[in-house]
Amino acid sequence: VYEGGIRVPMMVRGPGVKPDSWCHVRVVGYDFLPTFYDWAGVEKSLIPNDVEGGTIAGLLADGGQTEVKRRRDELVFHFPHYQGDTPHSAILLGNLKLMHFYEDDRDELYDLAKDIGERRNVASNQVAEVKQLREKLQAYLMAVNAQLPTPNADFDPKRPVEPKKRGGK
């Protein structure tokens, strides 16, 4: 969930999208469903409460000058499994990004406005912000009933790794 993995360009072409327009507003995949509802003319009262995200229709129509309105101000990315790294989550709120690593209960905090490359972990200098973002992250994960990492009771770090068997019928 470092910026190199979640900050990717999104390109859109279509009716009502101004050519050569661009913006720096954060957009996530779960913004698409509210956008489709918006384009289809579905009344907001008919959209289920558990739909995350916000419509980006206005953002596309006005050349990137609109904000995306979501139920929550923060964006959360959650990986409770091993995927080339240890289980971890991230929460972005404004320019601050907290990353929490479950295996060693470690937090990293970055100010993306000053450090887009995430080279300076400022967690030790901004303890109050770490606490606030960690509480928001935990509250969000509980609210959506997110799966959390669980220890593998059968794991023995001293046991050699067995090669995977390939092939067969």
| Report field, pTM of the whole predicted structure over 0.75 | yes
Grouping H, G, I as helix, E, B as strand and the rest as coil, residue 48 is: coil
- What amino acid occupies position 40? A
Residue 94: predicted pLDDT: 94
> What is the spatial distance between Cα 56 and Cα 64, in angstroms, rounded to a whole number?
9
> What is the spatial distance between Cα 128 and Cα 13, in angstroms, rounded to a whole number?
42
Residue 134: predicted pLDDT: 98
The pair of structure tokens assigned to 126 is 């901004």
- 154: pLDDT strictly greater than 80: no
> What is the spatial distance between Cα 166 and Cα 169, in angstroms, rounded to a whole number?
10
Find tokens 């992250």 and name the residue.
137
pLDDT tens track for 126-144: 999 999 999 999 999 999 9
Q: What is the mean pLDDT of the chain?
A: 89
Grouping H, G, I as helix, E, B as strand and the rest as coil, residue 60 is: helix
Average pLDDT over residues 149-162: 79
Yes or no: say if 88 and 104 are a contact pair by the CB < 8 Å rule: no
Q: Is 84 left (phi over 0), alpha (psi -120 to 50) or beta?
A: left
Yes or no: say if 134 and 89 are a contact pair by the CB < 8 Å rule: no
pLDDT tens track for 47-89: 888 888 999 998 888 877 788 999 889 999 999 988 777 899 9
- 5: pLDDT strictly greater than 70: yes
Average pLDDT over residues 107-126: 96
Residue 167: predicted pLDDT: 66
Tell me the percentage of the chain whose pLDDT exceeds 70: 96
Alpha helices in 41-77 (DSSP H): 57-61
